[in-house]
Structure 1
Amino acid sequence: MSSIEKKPVFRDLTAEDPEPEVTEIESLCMNCHANGVTRLLLTRIPHYKNVVIMSFSCEHCGYENNEIQPGGAFAELGVRWKLQVENPIDLNRQVVKSDYTSVKIPEVDFEIPVQSQKGGS
């Protein structure tokens, strides 16, 4: 009887993982209509969610496209986060946002509207 190690579908992406599980699929190039290759990586972004990272390349015409898509269901109503900034160090943050997220900092008249930045490429 052999034991097979079950790995989660969405794995944490770490520098210690020498061979992340990438799936390659032959797919149609929307530029020249020849066959190219799409590479898919299913991974988990800590404190965010599961995502599918996709990379397409066509060896015939050189066209490339990269994008990231959610790997799970969206919350119906979304989430609101508030941060009280008391010191400059409080602004030392990295934010991963979807296309449907807005970011507002009224105190400095700063806003990133919904669908104003595309994730990927």
Structure 2
Amino acid sequence: MATNKTSQRYQASCHCQLIRYTVTLSPPLHDPESWVVECNCSICARNGYLNVYVQNECIQFDNVDLNSNLVEKYRFGKERVQHYFCSRCGSSLMAESIEPGFYEGVKALNVRMFQGVDVRTLQRREVDGRSL
């Protein structure tokens, strides 16, 4: 059965452009059914993350592997989630679960890295990440 779901591709990168990637979101960020997560855990709150949860197959990295030395990784607390930062400019790129069965196959992408997106216009949902 055909679906009428719209999708949109977004170009994203760290501040210095060392890490670049393309993300396909369905629905797009401007869609009334779309929203971003504003998490209250210490790292999201301090870095200003506004996340969308995206299946890994909807993300294409242009020039880097997340396991390369161009990307710094960080875990804290219960160490269920690994956060990724540019090794050159320090931009907070994304996070993903490293615990089997906990948001497997999904990355939490910081929409502040998306080009041409006015984050002031996005619908937000608050999440209590402190308790995870």
Q: Which has the higher contact order (CA 8 A, sep 6+)?
A: 2
More helix by share: 2
Q: Which has the larger radius of gyration?
A: 1
TM-score computed with the length of structure 2 as normaliser = 0.30
TM-score normalised by structure 1 residue count: 0.31
Bigger fraction of residues in strand: 2
